[in-house]
Amino acid sequence: MNKEAISLLIHGGRIIDPGQGMDQLGDLLIAEGRILQVGGTVILSRSLERGEGKVKNLDATGLVVCPGFVDLHCHLREPGFEDKETIATGTKAAAIGGFVAVCCMANTEPPLDNAAIVDWVKRKASKDSVVAVLPIGCVTRGRKGEELTDMAGLAEAGVVAFSDDGDPVASSQLMRRAMEYSRDLGLPIIDHCEDKGLSDNGIINEGQISAKLGLKGIPATAEEVMVARDLTLAKMTKSRLHIAHVSAKGSVELIRHAKEEGISVTAEVTPHHLTLTEERIVREPPNKPFDTNAKVNPPLRTKEDIQALIKGLKDGVIDAIATDHAPHTVADKNCGLELAAFGISGLETAFGCLMSLVHQGEISLTQLISKLTCEPAKVIGRNGELGTLRAGAPANIAILNLDQEWIVNSRNFASKGKNTPYDGYQFKGKVMATIANGEIVYIDHSLVIARNEVTKQSHV
Ligand code: DOR
C-alpha cells in the first residue's frame, strides 16, 4: 500500500464529476492535498513545473478520473471481532475498491453506543486507516432496542448517523423518539428495516427456491412493513431517514411514494442486491448443495426485485449504492446454511461487479459514479469535501479502467473476509488508483512510480 502526500498532475483522463455535471477529457492537478485545477490542459506554474521533480505525473489516457467513492455502510468489526476484520484491513480493502471514505457500522463489541468508544475508533483509524473512517453511532444502548443512547453525546463525538444495523429498532415509540432526537441533531438514522416476527429466523428469500429446497424463507414483507412504519414515523417527526440495503420491489415503491409526498427519506442499495438473485444460494454438484457466501440479510431476492431496484436507482428513488461490506471468518461460513453468518465481503468487488450493469446498458456510467460519490456524500452532509472534484476540495479521487478484465480471487483480498459469492467471476472494470485526502492510498501494479514520475505502463 502506497501512502505519500504529493503534488500530482493526472493528465489526459476522462474526468467525470456528476456533481458538477462534468464529463470531459482533461488534466487534474493536486497540490498540498487539495485539487488545484480540474479540466482543460493544466499549464504548470514555475514553482510546480513538470519534470523538475516537484510534480509527479500520471498519464491517465484511456482512464476515467472521478471523485473517490463514499461507502455509507460497511462493517469494520473493530473493536471486538478482529478475527473477521480490523480497521487496518477493512480500510485497505476500501482503498483497493476505490473508496476514500467509509461509514463504519455500530455492531461491534462493545457496540458504538457511547462517545468513548466512538472516540477510540476515531483514534485507532487515525493510526491504522488509509481512508476516512466515519463512525455511525447506535440508536439504542447495546443495540438492545430498549433505551436510547446519548445521541447528543454521540453526535458531539462525531458520528455521521445513527443505526442499530443488523437489528431493527422494534419499538415504534422508541423509534419515534430516536427520530425526534436525530432531527434536532441534524443527523440521519440509517434504518435496518426488518420485522423480526415476519423474518422469523428465515435463511433465504421466501419464494419458489425456499419452497423447493424446504428452507425457511424471509418474506419481502418483513422489510416492507418496517419501511412503511418508519416512513410514517419520519413524516410524523419531520426527521431525516435513510433506508439501508433496500432489497424488495415493494420497498422501492413505498420510498417512491414517500418522496413524492415530500418525506425526507434517502435510500441505498448494495451491489449484490443489484446483481444476484435468490438462485445464487444453490451450488452445482459435486460442491456442497449451498453456497453460504450468498447468505446475506436482507436476502438476495428475485429478478423482478432487481429490475425495480435498478429502476429506482435511475429514477432517483434510491440515492446511493453502499457495499454493506460484512466480512466473516472461514469458520463463520464453512458450516451448514442454517448456522452460517449473514453477510458478504464487498469492498473489493463493488466497482467491478457494478460495471456489469453499465456494460449491460442497465445504468449509465455517470449514474453509477454519482451513486458512489456525490449522492452518498450528500446523505451524510459531507458533499463539500467528499464526492466532488471541485477546485479547492480535498483531493479524493478514484482512477478507473472501464475495460480491464479481471477475475475475482478472494484469497488475494486485503480484507480478512474472504466471504464472497463472486469468487472466480470475471469482471470488466477495475479501480487503478485511489487518492484519499491527497495521498495515493492504492495504485494498481500496472501504474508505477519511477524517477519522481507516476507513469502508465500498460492498460489492457
Ligand atoms: O448480511 C448482513 N450482515 N446484514 C446485516 O444487516 C448485518 C451484517 C453483519 O454485520 O454481518
Q: Tell me the β-bridge partners of 218.
A: 205
Q: What is the per-residue pLDDT for 131? A: 98
The half-sphere exposure of 364 on its side-chain side, counting CA atoms within 13 A, is 8
Instruction: Tell whether ligand 1 has an atom less than 6 A from the beta carbon of residue 192.
Output: yes
166: Cβ below 6 Å to ligand 1? yes
Of 275, 224, 229, 276, residue with least CA distance to 250: 224
- In single-letter form, the type of residue at position 300 comes to L
* SS3 label, residue 448: strand
Specify whether the CB–CB gap between 23 and 30 falls below 8 A: no
Residue nearest to atom 3 of ligand 1 (CA): 343
344 CA → ligand 1 middle, Å: 8
* Closest approach atom of ligand 1 to CA 296: 1
pLDDT at 134 over 70: yes
Nearest-atom number in ligand 1 for the CA of 192 is 6
Measured in Å, residue 96 CA sits from the centre of ligand 1 at 21
Every domain of the chain and the residues it spans? 4-65+396-413+428-451, 67-379
Question: Residue 49 — very low, low, confident or very high, per pLDDT cuts 50/70/90?
Answer: low
Establish whether residue 218 lines the binding site of ligand 1, counting it when its CB lies within 6 angstroms of any ligand atom: no
* 210-228 per-position pLDDT tens digit: 999 999 999 999 999 999 9
Choose between 455 and 379: higher pLDDT.
379
Q: Name the band, by pLDDT with cuts 50, 70 and 90, for residue 451.
A: very low
> Exposure string (b/e) for 241-254, b if CB count within 10 Å is 16 or more?
bbbbbbbbbbbbeb
Torsion, CA 137, CA 138, CA 142, CA 143, rounded to 10: -150
Q: Cell digits for 58?
A: 500520471
How far, CA to CA in Å, does 359 sit from each of 7, 272, 363?
A: 34, 16, 8
253-312 tens-digit pLDDT: 999 999 999 999 999 999 999 999 999 999 877 777 899 999 999 999 999 999 999 999
The CATH class that applies to domain 4-65+396-413+428-451 reads mainly beta
pTM: 0.96
Measure 323 CA to ligand 1 centroid, in angstroms: 11
Residues acting as catalytic residues? 324
Which atom of ligand 1 is nearest to 165's Cα? 6
Long-range CB contacts (< 8 A, 24+ apart) of 123-126?
Answer: 124/78, 124/87, 125/87, 125/91
How far is 185 from 249, CA to CA, in rounded Å? 31
Determine if ligand 1 sits within 6 Å of the CB of residue 295.
no
pLDDT of residue 460: 28
CATH no. of 67-379:
3.20.20.140
Name the residue with the closest Cα to ligand 1, atom 5: 166
